[in-house]
Structure 1
């Protein structure tokens, strides 16, 4: 009998986060170049800062993907301490 609330076939969303980060990086760098070429410095700086945040997220996602799977307890180990009466 399962005591946790997680689904039986849970998967890590790291690959989806990787692709979304790459997509976001493409748009933020493109936006920074487009705004810089049209003379809108404030928007270009905002897109550049957002590109730095997306790059940091991308680095963390790649790092977690390279670490590989971590220890997961078996079905007999609940994900939390059971309530005490």
Structure 2
């Protein structure tokens, strides 16, 4: 809900989330490979699941970045009225 006191220069942390997802994917893939070579299939599967999870997050972040900025109301738009309790 918009209250009217949001920061004017607020930015989305999508670029940071992009790099963290990429970093996590690299490390999880390395862990999956290392555990597979070490003969630990359970840990390798867990790391592979993390690779998939980080890949999905990376795809969502890239999609959001490519969508570009969305409309945000300016200072001249008053805040929404809060919902009223009861009648």
TM-score range, shorter chain: 0.7 to 0.9
Equivalences for residues 54-65 of structure 1 within 5 A: 54-65=54-65
Residue 60 of structure 1: CA displacement?
0.3
Superposition CA RMSD, Å: 1.7
Name stretches of at least 5 consecutive residues in structure 2 with no aligned partner. Answer: none
Structure 1 segments of 4+ aligned residues over 6 angstroms from their partners: none
TM-score normalised to the size of structure 2? 0.84
User: How many residues are matched?
Assistant: 82
Residue 75 of structure 1: CA displacement?
1.3
Output one character per residue of 1:31-70: Cα deviation in whole Å (capped at 9) or x when no partner. 0000000001000000000110000000000000001001
Equivalences for residues 4-83 of structure 1 within 5 A: 4-78=4-78, 80-82=80-82
Residue 78 of structure 1: CA displacement?
4.3
Q: Distance in 2 between matches of 1:78 and 1:55?
A: 40
Name stretches of at least 5 consecutive residues in structure 1 with no aligned partner. Answer: none
TM-score normalised to the size of structure 1? 0.85
